[in-house]
Amino acid sequence: MHLFLVRDDFEIEGPRFHLGLRYNEDWVKETQKFSEFYHLGCFVQTAKAIEASWRDSTVVPGLEVELPDVEPQHGHVIEEPIKIQGKIKAVITRDGSMEPFFKRDNVEMYVVTEKGIAIYYSEDGKWELLKTIPAVEEK
């Protein structure tokens, strides 16, 4: 199983943005804080996927987070957590290659928010909403 945490306003089921891409223009600079060795490491290793992640890297904002007040040191673990500040949704997919999710090729995903769970299925390159399950309210 794969679990992705994305901003609540990330249009995962829309036509432009794709699940499994790394939309981040500053990934090299951020990686250099922790290691002198780095590579893009995309979930989908196709030219179209890498092109899409680079093309849209500046239009997809990152998660709103609070970083720990610690200076990163090469080769050392940071024990303090990163705290997510904004609203997010969790996207759950089956384990394995993410390429069918990029292509939207007959796969299913579960999108979990505070409102409940939405189940999507892809067909003909588009996501279709199959079912929604409302969240259970606490008593």
- In tens digits, the chain (139 residues) has pLDDT values of 999 999 999 888 877 888 888 777 676 777 777 677 776 667 888 889 888 888 887 888 888 888 888 887 777 888 889 899 989 999 999 999 999 988 898 999 999 999 999 999 998 889 999 999 999 887 7
In this structure, the chain runs to a length of 139
Rounded to two decimals, the pTM is 0.81
